[in-house]
Amino acid sequence: MIDENPKQFCGYVAIVGRPNVGKSTLLNHLLGQKISITSRKPQTTRHNMLGIKTEGNTQLIFVDTPGLHSNQTKAINRYMNRAAESAMRDVDVIVFVVDRNIWSEADDKVAEEVFKAKAPVIIVMNKLDRLESKADLLPHIQTLSKRFPTAQLIPVSALKGKQLEELESAIQQFIPEAVHYFPEDQITDRSQRFLVAELVREKITRQLGAEVPYEVTVEIEVFKYEGKICHINALILVERDGQKKIIIGDKGSRLKKIGQDARLDMERLLDSKVMLNLWVKVRRGWSDDERALRSLGYDE
């Protein structure tokens, strides 16, 4: 006899850590699909983003968080810290991501917040692929096991997909019986409009590196379908004239490259032909202005 009402399991999983330890890469590989933008630069992720994975009777709702900072004072950094800290309040399990056998003062600050929360903790030692020998990890595992005896420790390589099944199994033991909150084919809570803005920002971050600080954001002014074509107008906001010149590049060459790379990813995301127009505008002080941040969507 087939059970018409099989048990369902559903729960929230916060992915936290200091900047640049691979949280977004981990989420994308757990989902098997890219929803969070990535780069090698800290502060790439600015918002909490849900990644939803439904398999059989289990739905895991991952919350990808901004990296927690302890030495930044701008309004945007305060916003990111609030977003990350709020994600830990009501989750069923916390995945605390660290960088292989590296431990810093910033990790101490994150650990302080993580273990204040009441949820069980899994410490994920990421970037296993960058170690010359796995034996290099053993002393660090022993140290962390003594320091955080209640936490599980799992070494992984998010980028190479190594040991992610073990991580998922460890997460599932903490997921309660509950009805699924989202349809089984939904993979994020974010709109297409939000995702395409993030893709533009990712290309800027990847291409410019240290040339432009993190005083860049993207606002979508037009997002509409006409027949089989999606028309997108995006405004890139910076804080200084020099930053605008750097993003535009010689005769517009850099802005053109940013647009080309972003458009290709948008077409994959939307499964549609995309016509993308980009502009760059100076809006002084936006990253340290609470009102400007709210108007730009930094309002969780």
pLDDT, tens digit (0-9, with 9 covering 90-100), for 246-272:
999 999 999 999 999 999 999 998 999
Residue 96 has pLDDT above 50, yes or no: yes
Distances (CA, A) of 208 to 38, 148, 204, 247: 14, 39, 6, 8
Number of domains in the chain: 2
Are 225 and 279 members of one domain?
yes
Q: What is the pLDDT of residue 39?
A: 53
Bridging pattern class, strands 217-226 and 229-238: antiparallel
Q: C-alpha angle 25/247/193, rounded to 5°?
A: 55
Q: What is the pLDDT of residue 285?
A: 75
Mean pLDDT of 212-217: 72
In a domain, 183, yes or no: no
Domain extent at residue 77: 9-172
In a domain, 184, yes or no: no
Kind and range of the H or E run holding 195: helix 192-208
Strands (E), 130-188: 152-155
Task: Report the SS3 class of residue 59.
Answer: strand
Mean pLDDT of 220-237: 95
Angle in degrees, 0-180, between the axes of helices 253-270 and 241-248, rounded to the nearest 10: 70
Higher pLDDT, 278 or 41: 278
Q: What is the pLDDT of residue 190?
A: 85
In a domain, 182, yes or no: no
Angle in degrees, 0-180, between the axes of helices 23-31 and 164-172, rounded to the nearest 10: 80
Give me the half-sphere count of Cα atoms (radius 13 Å) on the Cβ side of residue 233.
Answer: 4
In a domain, 187, yes or no: no
Are 140 and 198 members of one domain?
no
Residue 294 has pLDDT above 50, yes or no: yes
Q: What is the pLDDT of residue 47?
A: 57
Are 127 and 241 members of one domain?
no
Kind and range of the H or E run holding 11: strand 9-16
Tell me the Cα Rg of the chain: 20
Output the domain CATH number for residue 238.
3.30.300.20
Are 281 and 151 members of one domain?
no
